[in-house]
Structure 1
Amino acid sequence: MTNDVISVILGGGAGTRLYPLTRRRSKPAVPLAGKYRLVDIPISNCLNAALNRIFVLTQYNSASLNKHIKNAYHFSNFDKGFVDILAAEQTPDNPTWYQGTADAVRQCLHHMENFEFEYVLILSGDQLYQMDFREMIRHHIDTGAEISIATIPVSAKEASDFGILKTNEAGEIVSFTEKPSQEVLPPWASEVSDEMKAAGRIYLASMGIYVFSREVLFRMLQDQPEAADFGKQLIPDAIEGQRRVFSYQYEGYWTDIGNIPSFFEANIGLTDDIPLFNLFNESQTIYSRARMLPPAKISGQMEKTMIADGCIIMADRLERCVVGIRTRVGKGTVITNCYIMGSDYYQTLDEIEKAKRLGHPPMGIGENCSIHYAIIDKNCSIGNGVHISGGKHLADGDFEKYTVKDGIVVVKKGVVLEDGFSI
């Protein structure tokens, strides 16, 4: 069965809701949990399900994503598996860039058509979840579906943020509405498990994960050249056109990391005693680039904190923090509720001394700092005595060195905060 599947991961658009993390990188390239990238999640889900023929479609700010995939995913010369990048390209037949999710796949059909496969698995590159795609594909085959949509039960409060699907008793999707208001919701309830009913999660939201039978996908994309997006056009058209579109219900952890608050909560949630997203399940390994880094060296008090390889932590106290690779934190510093992404390289001792002579702080976080409710992007140089206090008291705004969104301070990649800087 898995030999009959091609997986396509959509690299996403400009990612404006995740700005400034997407200022220099695409959404799927945003660092996650201190050592991964968002794109590692769908790729890992595929590899754990023995789906090893994967295309990643990229367009915006794609250099760091392309570099990560090139460095992370290598297969044996005797293996037919691959993770290949399909960058947006202008051709004589199509002089435009990708206009949407469906158009991106349409423009890449000529790269796929020479492979042997029966089914296409289409995934987003910016979601956090662990799913066995083999079960979804088996469900697709067993129901005789032409299109399968992964759905997750949500509450009435959440439903207005999603496309909501209505199913019949057989699980076939009979209607679709995009982000319905609370007033029109009641008739859209679907059959869900008793556990989901008890939680009030009775509406089926599309997860943006699709399985298409090959001929159906090719035919629809070619016959509807004006349809640019799966969720807004192609899928509703398929339902209205009475194609066999089925729901595959998923009841595990899933979150769409579409904005700064959801991204922050997903990362800080990893520090819980029993996090909703399990990084420690060996049957659902999260793959990424292998780095030859030394163990972390830690002094000070740590509580509910994850620390990646290669860190030197001399802080007084870290609480509910995710600390990325190669992070350096000086003595006397207190950090709470923060995601520190780390650094791409180490400064040498000579480089650190040169920076000090020039009056610049070395890369990392200095001594006697106080940092709360913040995301520190990669390669930042934060001096001594810096004070950052995020929270609802701060108004949203975009500034030269940082951005504030919903009380979360995001220090931009590579900036220098001089000694005594305060937010």
Structure 2
Amino acid sequence: MILQPSYAIILAGGQGSRLLPLTNERAKPAVPFGGMYRIIDFVLNNLKNSRYEKIAIASQFMPDSLHDHLDNFWRYQNWDLRTYPAMKDPNRRSTEFTGTADAVYHTLQRISRKHNLRFDITDMQDHGFAENTLIFGGDHIYVMDVMQKEVFHNEKSADLTISAIPVRIEEAAGQFGVLVVDKTGRVQAFEEKPLKPTEMPGRPGYCLASMGNYVFRTQPLLEALVQDNEDPNSTSDFGKDVIPKMLNEGKAIFAYDFSTNIVRGTTDDERGYWQDVGTLRAFYDANMALLQKRPPLNIFNRKWQLVTLNQYSQPARHHDSTISMDALICNGAHIIASQVRTTIVSPGATLEEGCTVEESYLMGGDTIIGEGSKIRRAVIDKHVVLLPGTEIGYDEKIDKERGFTVEDGITFVPRRYVMK
């Protein structure tokens, strides 16, 4: 089936307050991940590898780091990528998007260069809109062949298709939207972050969680967004307002089983991997999982390459050092006579002589770990300078007195921390 190219909108304005201090100076999608990447790189690579060419990114919270990343790399890819930050609208007082649906509504308005969206399918095609519009969050870690999902959407003649994945009930409670579906996969109910999610039939202890990415038929999407924008009682959120209203109207909404998505070069064990990394512990665990012998996410898959900005052209250098097999040492890293175990060392990080670093993630960006320092179970952000002999991760009280965040025994050192 040959599909008309669809527009993909990425929602990248989230503050990510549960990831503080990593989001002190950047939006969640701009947080570094896996040594080389930013979180938003995963959805962008999914769209690029799936051969989508029209991308709009709606940004809001502290967008400078995100925009720099996009401007320095992603705009040079062979596609039409445009950024639409929240801005003053003459028809409202706020300069911020009030919700996910509001972000898409105003982004589509600016894409179409109109002040309202009341036009039929012929007009939409004249203004560059295809039959379908794709909406993705910019803050999840996963690989997906997006075209397979759109084919499923068209075969079902759906108005809306929601990617879904089984999640343990205790993990989903209060955190994820939950779908209730019939035997055909048609959605019967949508529960927005319920405290007691509905259990999946035949799978005790699990519910069907929304992954927060959608394929809409453009016509009903625009109709729903216009209605939502005119509703003074709406919070302008897809999960709370738009999707429940579409269900009540009898729209054809289907769940897309993400575990059926086949990405080139992946194994059966890797299929269905998806992480929200919405908490500090989840973020740390997802990074450490990359160091496993058979990681759940294969960032070295040459048939589905994950590309990103490469700011350091120099190779990694380690002199007279001991580095365990379960480590990622990125280009531009400099390690001098140190021991590194179960750790990610990002581009531009320097470990001076005699350091010991284990079970940690050093985000690089000219971070300097002073000689003889000992780091254990820590995430150290960019542009950090530690004095010689510093110990982090050994005494929680001292770490907190320095202003570090400690959660579940993991210490997080904020960006631009310079020890004096």
- For the superposition of Structure 1 and Structure 2, which TM-score range results when normalised by the shorter chain? 0.7 to 0.9
> For residue 164 of structure 1, what is the amino acid of its counterpart?
V
Equivalent runs, 1:241-320 vs 2, <5 Å: 241-251=249-259, 252-299=272-319, 300-303=321-324, 304-320=326-342
Matched residue, 1:175: 189
Q: Does 1:338 align with 2:360?
A: yes
Contact 2:346–2:363 (CA under 8 A) maintained in structure 1: yes
Q: Distance in 2 between matches of 1:57 and 1:400?
A: 36
Q: Distance in 2 between matches of 1:105 and 1:203?
A: 28
Q: Distance in 2 between matches of 1:98 and 1:376?
A: 31
Q: Does 1:189 align with 2:197?
A: no
Q: Does 1:89 align with 2:93?
A: no
Q: Give aligned pairs, total.
A: 385
> For residue 291 of structure 2, what is the amino acid of its counterpart?
T
1:223 Cα deviation after fit? 1.1
Equivalent runs, 1:143-222 vs 2, <5 Å: 143-160=156-173, 161-181=175-195, 185=198, 188-190=199-201, 197=203, 202-222=206-226
1:155 Cα deviation after fit? 2.5
**Residue-by-residue CA offset, 1:249-305 (whole Å, 9 max, x unaligned):** 112100101111111111111111111111011222112113351110113111111
Structure 2 unmatched ranges of 5 or more: 113-126, 260-271
Q: Distance in 1 between matches of 2:132 and 2:24?
A: 35
Matched residue, 1:410: 412
**Residue-by-residue CA offset, 1:297-338 (whole Å, 9 max, x unaligned):** 113111111011111111431111111101110121111111
Q: CA RMSD in A?
A: 2.1
Contact 1:2–1:51 (CA under 8 A) maintained in structure 2: no
Tell me, what secondary structure is at the counterpart of 2:303?
helix
> For residue 290 of structure 2, what is the amino acid of its counterpart?
L
Q: Distance in 2 between matches of 1:91 and 1:58?
A: 15
Q: Distance in 2 between matches of 1:245 and 1:273?
A: 39
Q: 1:134 aligns with which of 147, 160, 166?
A: 147
Contact 1:7–1:121 (CA under 8 A) maintained in structure 2: yes
Contact 1:396–1:406 (CA under 8 A) maintained in structure 2: no
> For residue 294 of structure 2, what is the amino acid of its counterpart?
I
1:201 Cα deviation after fit? 6.7
Q: Distance in 1 between matches of 2:59 and 2:132?
A: 21
TM-score scaled by length of structure 2: 0.87
Tell me, what secondary structure is at the counterpart of 1:74?
helix
Contact 2:14–2:29 (CA under 8 A) maintained in structure 1: no
Contact 1:401–1:415 (CA under 8 A) maintained in structure 2: no
Q: 1:323 aligns with which of 345, 350, 354?
A: 345
Q: Distance in 2 between matches of 1:241 and 1:400?
A: 55
Q: Distance in 1 between matches of 2:247 and 2:36?
A: 40
Contact 1:25–1:64 (CA under 8 A) maintained in structure 2: yes
Q: Distance in 2 between matches of 1:2 and 1:364?
A: 50
1:403 Cα deviation after fit? 1.7
Matched residue, 1:51: 52
Q: For residues 315 and 230 of structure 1, do their structure 2 counterparts lie closer, same or farther at Cα, with a shift above 3 Å needed?
A: farther
Q: Does 1:41 align with 2:42?
A: yes
Q: For residues 314 and 262 of structure 1, do their structure 2 counterparts lie closer, same or farther at Cα, with a shift above 3 Å needed?
A: same
Contact 1:119–1:212 (CA under 8 A) maintained in structure 2: yes
State the identity %.
31
Q: Distance in 1 between matches of 2:400 and 2:240?
A: 31
1:158 Cα deviation after fit? 2.6
Matched residue, 1:386: 390
Q: Does 1:232 align with 2:240?
A: yes
Tell me, what secondary structure is at the counterpart of 1:233?
helix
Structure 1 unmatched ranges of 5 or more: 192-196, 346-362, 419-423
